[in-house]
Amino acid sequence: MATILSGEIFTSTYHNQTFGGITMAKQTIIDENGQKYVKQVADANRSRTAELVLGIIGGIFGMIGGVLAMTIGSIGSALSASGSGTIMNLGWGCIGVSVLAIILSAMINKNHKVMGWLIILCGVLNIVFVSYFGILSGLLIIIAGGLALRK
């Protein structure tokens, strides 16, 4: 294939190589003087391992935070504290959102933009539901969603 760039003629060819399941393309460009240039071109199908791992770890920590919130709510209920039932319900909500974050992280390759925004929403809800118990898990889930939004 010959391409004209700023008055010069270049010949370029593409070679695909697979490294650890990730396909990378190398473009070899030969200019009119016969000099070779090799350019690494990223493949359109990205590996989404980081998003998957962060989503799963964040979801597990979120479930742990939900169980801790439910435990605090149970202790409050045993001591007849007001609002303890609400804390237990928010713990259940946190567990549900964490499971949803894990499922969405596993489906990240379907449509990474939509899944990324939904994962970010799960992370924010995780922090809102159980406050201090959900900060670590919420941040991990938000980071996973942010990584999913990149190309």
Query: In a structure prediction context, what are the per-residue pLDDT tens digits for the chain, which is 151 residues long?
Result: 444 454 444 455 555 555 545 555 677 777 777 788 777 665 555 688 899 999 999 999 999 999 999 999 999 989 988 888 888 999 999 999 999 999 999 998 888 899 999 999 999 999 999 988 889 999 999 999 999 998 7
Q: Are residues 74 and 140 in the same domain?
A: yes
Nearest to 102, CA basis, from 51, 149, 146: 51
> Same structural domain for residues 73 and 129?
yes
- What was the pLDDT predicted at 4? 47
Q: Are residues 141 and 88 in the same domain?
A: yes
* Alpha carbon distance 45, 62 (integer Å): 29
Q: Are residues 38 and 53 in the same domain?
A: no
Rg (CA), the chain: 24
- H helices, E strands: number in the chain: 4, 4
| 38/56 same-domain check | no
* Predicted local confidence at residue 15, as pLDDT: 55
Q: Is-contact 123 139, C-beta < 8 A?
A: yes
One domain, residues 33 and 54:
no
For residue 8, the enclosing domain spans 2-42
